Amino acid sequence: MRFQTLTTAEAEAASASALLCGEVSPEVKSPPDGPTVNYVLEIRPAFDTLHHAGAQIAAWFILAETGGEAEGPDHPLLAAARRSFAEAAETIRSVRATPRAAHHHHHLRRAEAAIEAVLGKLSDARQCRDPARRDLALAQLKSGWREMHHAAAALPGFEMVQFSGACCAVHRNALARDN
Amino acid sequence: MTDYSIWVLEYSQITQMPRSAVVYGAHNKGTSKLPYCYVLLKGKGRTILLDVGYNNVDYGAYFHTAFGSSNWHGPDEVLGECGIRPEDVTDCIITHAHFDHMGGIALFPNATFYVQEKEITTWVSYMALPRQFRWLMGATDPGDIMRAVDLAKQGRLVLVKGPMEDVFPGIDLHPAYETHTPASQYIVIRNDGKRQSADAWVFAGDLVYQFENLDGGTPDDPYYVPVGLAAGSQANLVFTTHEMLGRVGHESRRVIPIHEEGLKDRFPSRQTKHDLRITEIALADGEKSLVK
């Protein structure tokens, strides 16, 4: 399913809404409209896959910084991150956001761009070994991760930590039943 | 002679945690309060934390809404009750890589962190798996990996390989593989400094949540019941519980489950102005009580 392109006014509204970044924004507290629900259902796998790509790159960094086997761009973690990113990016670039989802999508696009830039900076063995290059890439990864936090805070249905396997997830089910 | 002062410090809580999450198989047994805590050690010239809680900035609001956690306070307030600033903390021992034990690492800018290497490398290997395996990542925050990268770059991350005696004088680390997590670790404090200690304490992380995991709720005829979540096996948790008790001569009051509300009934405690509990497990020679 595809949705209308944002008008200029809607884009400006989304931009203003983005000023709320860093907290759970008002959008997330009220139920989304039907088209936005469809947007959430369509984009959520891509959000999760982009999140996974970011986690894979972070995992490569910890190996690189603690002396582990992390030589170059063909390392399994970076190769997996590239695959994850490509899969996520295709959906993120093609799905049209509803006005209600514009704030979320704005941040998701920024996250996608940041992670693409990180992968670009780690695209050959020399770059992967260069500490200065790695520092730049790590800073960009953190920036992308912040964008994902902002995106998760802008619409219901997106999680930055997988709580589904955690003991506290049982509690969530109990809360839902009680309420 | 007592080397370390030891306090369990509450920093948040869930008021209605289902018993089944705490005690394996306890379905339809209602709920109880689950305090979130970390442990402060002072002695031998060091200020040490066992675990660091989570950072409300990242996901506290979500956690509060989704799970009913409440009354989170940062380490400046929690440690402030003990006359300590976060900057004063010299070392942090992380029992396992779940967000509520490791998520606060950025809050202690001068500390060196100790975590089992296998806990991190297994987590990293899980990240390379396809998304169908994401259950294995439950309760971990990839953001913590990025914070750990910063620690490593600053030389403040020590990846511990297996058991480690005297990481600090009288303090030992013991891994518990394939239990609550791939490589949780528990901490033994030999508070008289002796190898065969008569004053040892075990800090269990999440290898046991509450007293009931140690005695099955029947202290006169005790049996071990694992916690409600094991990424490894319940059997390994049971055998680790026996191992931990063995390190304190099977004196169960010396195995400290930090999520146990009943600690206040076994040890001197007080509520702070933020309604958080301080429980005093031990006082080093010359140290003043924080609860009297």
Span A73-87, pLDDT tens digits: 778 889 999 999 999
Count of CB atoms within 10 A of residue A98's CB? 22
Closest residue in A to B13 (Cα–Cα)? A168
Question: What average pLDDT does this structure show over A113-122?
Answer: 95
Lowest-confidence pick of A166-175, B82-91, B166-175, B192-201: A166-175
In the predicted structure, residue A4 carries a pLDDT above the cut 60: no
Q: Range of B135's domain?
A: 5-282
Q: Is-contact A107 A22, C-beta < 8 A?
A: no
pLDDT digits (tens, 9 = 90+) for A119-138: 999 988 777 888 888 899 99
- Is this complex scored with an ipTM above 0.85? no
What CATH number is given to the structural domain containing B154? Answer: 3.60.15.10
Domain ranges of chain A: 30-178
Question: What average pLDDT does this structure show over B259-282?
Answer: 96
Asked if A86 reaches chain B (Cβ–Cβ under 8 Å), the answer is no
pLDDT digits (tens, 9 = 90+) for B233-257: 999 999 999 999 999 999 999 999 9
Between B140 and A144, residue with greater pLDDT: A144
Lowest-confidence pick of A99-113, A164-178, B18-32, B207-221: A164-178
| Residue B83 lies inside a defined structural domain of this protein | yes
Q: Would you state the pLDDT for residue B59?
A: 64
- Spatial distance between the Cα atoms of B291 and B280, rounded to a whole number of angstroms: 7
In the predicted structure, residue B142 carries a pLDDT above the cut 90: no
Q: Would you state the pLDDT for residue A57?
A: 92
Question: What average pLDDT does this structure show over B21-49?
Answer: 93
In the predicted structure, residue A176 carries a pLDDT above the cut 70: no
Q: Would you state the pLDDT for residue A173?
A: 47
Q: Would you state the pLDDT for residue A27?
A: 55
Q: What are phi and psi of A94, to 5 degrees?
A: -100, -25
Q: Would you state the pLDDT for residue A125?
A: 79
Q: Is-contact B91 B111, C-beta < 8 A?
A: yes
Closest residue in A to B129 (Cα–Cα)? A80
Lowest-confidence pick of A35-49, B16-30, B194-208: B16-30
Q: Would you state the pLDDT for residue A17?
A: 40
Q: Would you state the pLDDT for residue A70?
A: 61
Q: Would you state the pLDDT for residue B289?
A: 97
Q: Is A3 exposed, middle or buried (0-12, 13-18, 19+ CB in 10 A)?
A: middle
CB contacts, 8 Å: B136 with chain A:
165
CB pair distance less than 8 Å for B145 and A166:
no
Question: What average pLDDT does this structure show over B51-61?
Answer: 79
- Spatial distance between the Cα atoms of B89 and A94, rounded to a whole number of angstroms: 49
Pairing state between β B200-203 and B255-256: parallel
Assign A115 a pLDDT band (cuts: 50, 70, 90): very high
Asked if A19 reaches chain B (Cβ–Cβ under 8 Å), the answer is no
Min Cα distance B110 → chain A (Å) is 19
SS3 B173: strand
In the predicted structure, residue A9 carries a pLDDT above the cut 60: no
CB pair distance less than 8 Å for A63 and B59:
no
Domains: count for chain B: 1
Q: Would you state the pLDDT for residue A13?
A: 38
Assign B56 a pLDDT band (cuts: 50, 70, 90): confident
The residues with which B187 forms a beta bridge, in sequence order, are B173, B203
Q: Would you state the pLDDT for residue B229?
A: 87
Considering only the beta carbons, identify the residue of A49, A55, A172 that sits closest to B142: A55
Question: What average pLDDT does this structure show over B43-65?
Answer: 83
| Residue B287 lies inside a defined structural domain of this protein | no
Lowest-confidence pick of A92-101, B21-30, B71-80, B263-272: B21-30
In the predicted structure, residue B55 carries a pLDDT above the cut 50: yes
Entry pTM = 0.83
User: Angle, to 10 degrees, between the axis of helix A8-17 and the axis of helix A102-121?
Assistant: 80
Q: What mean pLDDT, rounded, does chain A reach? A: 78
Write the Ramachandran bin of A134: left for phi over 0, alpha for psi from -120 to 50, otherwise beta.
alpha
Q: What mean pLDDT, rounded, does chain B reach? A: 92
Q: Would you state the pLDDT for residue B99?
A: 84
CB contacts, 8 Å: B21 with chain A:
167-168, 170-171
Q: Would you state the pLDDT for residue A3?
A: 35
Measured between alpha carbons, how far is residue B240 from residues A97, A154, B98, B231 in Å? Answer: 51, 43, 19, 14
Choose among B183, B185, B182, B161: nearest CA to B173: B185
Between B111 and B56, residue with greater pLDDT: B111
- Spatial distance between the Cα atoms of B36 and B12, rounded to a whole number of angstroms: 5
Assign B183 a pLDDT band (cuts: 50, 70, 90): very high
| Cβ-Cβ contacts under 8 Å for B262 (sequence gap 6 or more) | B210, B211
In the predicted structure, residue A19 carries a pLDDT above the cut 60: no
Q: Would you state the pLDDT for residue B21?
A: 85
